[in-house]
Amino acid sequence: ENENDTRTALQFGVHVNLTDSREPKVHGTFAFPKLQSNFKDIITVVEKVTKHFGIEKNFKITEKSQTPMHSGLGSTTQLSLSAAAAVAKFGGIDASVHELARIIGRGGTSGIGVKAFESGGFILDGGHSFGRGQEKESFLPSSVSNARPAPILARYDFPWWFVCAIPQSETVHGTTEVNLFQKYCPIPECEVEKLSRLVLMKILPAVVENDIKAFGEGVTRMQETGFKKIEVGLNKTAGQLIEEFLKAGAYGAGMSSFGPAVFGIAEDERHALELKEKVGGYLSKKRIHHDLFVTKADNKGARIKISN
């Protein structure tokens, strides 16, 4: 059985400019210089989209800002879809987000990244059918899975704030990520049932009823359930940061995907800034190099602006 997935899109994201060029070019300036994206991956996305639609143009893509790569914030999917959507629009192609995701090979494990790009907000997906002859026959991350994005069961605007801490530590991606999926999956059925109950009976109703206390409690309990328990257990620093966020007064805390990004849930901007100061003090005291920022949820999804 596959676990369902819940995530919230963040306002801190990707900004890509695309213009005509005599030859394919990719440039970037980064808010996080030590976590630069792989330009070859962007060029591959452009090549896939232009080949699929028969677009005979060259582009210069300038990456103006970027969520840190391989930090658990879904930046690979967002950057890839940003480049794909810009190229399609520039080529006069009216393509849906799901079609672009299929062309570039994103969303094969979770439907969250694709839906977040489309509309933002708090999102719950239903996972994939699994087994011989089903949508997925092996446990793989999105980067190496050919399945369609998982179906979306619910999407709501998300009202609260986050403080995100990204300690500069070893990240999980590529072959390492594939091996972890193979080693720890399938998750025991009892754990899947426990997580499903937690999502459907506590976390989802809390969003609908605007109950930040119940939401935070549910998210914190998720860190000890199912595959998330394994992810957190593999990252000692993340576990310690979760505890620090809770001690600092966060309504809830957790690690995003495989990390290393850890977040605390705040009621408003004032509360978020207080959490940032306290957690930042802890990280500095421990001499842990890090990025730390405050952000709201993005409830709109990607925006494309065309200018002459």
Q: Which of 64, 56, 109 is nearest to 83 (CA)?
A: 64
Q: What is the pLDDT along the chain (308 residues), one digit of tens a residue?
A: 445 566 565 555 667 777 777 666 665 544 444 434 456 778 888 889 999 999 987 777 776 656 666 677 888 888 889 889 989 998 999 999 999 999 998 876 678 889 999 999 999 998 877 667 666 656 655 555 666 778 899 999 999 999 999 998 766 656 766 677 777 778 889 998 999 999 999 999 999 999 999 999 999 999 999 888 888 888 889 999 999 999 999 999 999 888 899 999 999 999 999 999 999 999 999 999 989 999 999 999 998 887 76
Domains and their CATH numbers in the chain = 158-296 (3.30.70.890)
Q: What is the pairing mode between strands 122-125 and 152-156?
A: antiparallel
Consecutive H or E run containing 163: strand 161-167
Residue 304: CB partners within 8 Å, gap ≥ 6? 85, 86, 89
- Number of neighbours of residue 79 by Cβ within 10 angstroms: 23
- Read off φ and ψ for residue 132, nearest 5 degrees: -60, 125
* Sign of the four-CA dihedral 85, 88, 92, 95: negative
Query: Is residue 226 within 8 Å of 3, Cβ to Cβ?
Result: yes
Question: Residue 141, Cβ neighbours under 10 Å: how many?
Answer: 18
User: What residues contact residue 287 under an 8 Å CB cut-off, 6+ apart?
Assistant: none
Cut 0.85: pTM above it: no
